């Protein structure tokens, strides 16, 4: 529980040595340095198995939330879009997926004005970022996606 509580805090600036991109070429440009640092720290503190389980859970839930967000935008459910965007941004920031969190923040700001005008484009961008992240993690040696 201590490890989970410690790592459930929002991502902070990573220490320089942990923020360096992985030497794994699959990850270059597809995984945020903050996410790599977070995974490495969890792996060091709690072991590979917990890191893999947390990563698998993050990937599953993030994919589900993005799919739900797509449906909410399509059905013009502004309240649901606001809720899902905020939830997704927080989860991604906590785990260190800052590129996705930044797009969520942009979407959150735009729907905060009660407009879904550009929401579909931003959700498409989120989907592309997530697919790239998911693919890079699946092909890498950072942490397996299945426990």
**pLDDT tens digits for 13-29?**
443 333 333 343 334 45
| Statement: residue 86 has pLDDT above 90 | yes
User: For the structural domain made of 2-139, what CATH number should be given?
Assistant: 1.20.120
- What's the whole-number mean pLDDT along residues 87-92? 94
| Statement: residue 76 has pLDDT above 60 | yes
Q: What is the mean pLDDT of the chain?
A: 79
* Cα distance between residue 147 and residue 94, in whole Å: 21
| Statement: residue 47 has pLDDT above 90 | no
Cα-Cα end-to-end distance for the chain: 18
Q: What distance lies between CA 117 and its chain's CA centroid?
A: 24
Q: Which two tokens stand for residue 52?
A: 């893999």
Cβ-contact 41, 54 below 8 angstroms: no
User: Domains of the chain: which residue ranges?
Assistant: 2-139
Quick: pLDDT tens for 94-133.
888 999 999 999 999 989 877 788 899 999 999 999 999 8
Cβ-contact 95, 31 below 8 angstroms: no
pTM reported for the whole predicted model: 0.74
């Amino acid at each position: 529980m201590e490890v989970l509580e410690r790592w459930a805090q929002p991502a902070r600036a990573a220490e320089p040595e942990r923020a360096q991109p992985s030497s794994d070429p699959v990850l270059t440009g597809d995984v945020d340095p903050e996410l790599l640092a977070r995974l490495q720290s969890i792996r060091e503190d709690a072991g590979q198995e917990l890191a893999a389980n947390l990563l698998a859970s993050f990937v599953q839930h993030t994919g589900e939330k993005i799919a739900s967000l797509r449906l909410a935008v399509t059905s013009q459910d502004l309240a649901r879009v606001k809720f899902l965007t905020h939830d997704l941004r927080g989860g991604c920031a906590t785990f260190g997926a800052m590129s996705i969190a930044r797009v969520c923040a942009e979407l959150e700001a735009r729907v905060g004005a009660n407009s879904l005008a550009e929401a579909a484009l931003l959700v498409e961008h989120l989907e592309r970022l997530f697919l790239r992240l998911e693919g890079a993690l699946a092909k890498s040696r950072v942490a397996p996606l299945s426990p």
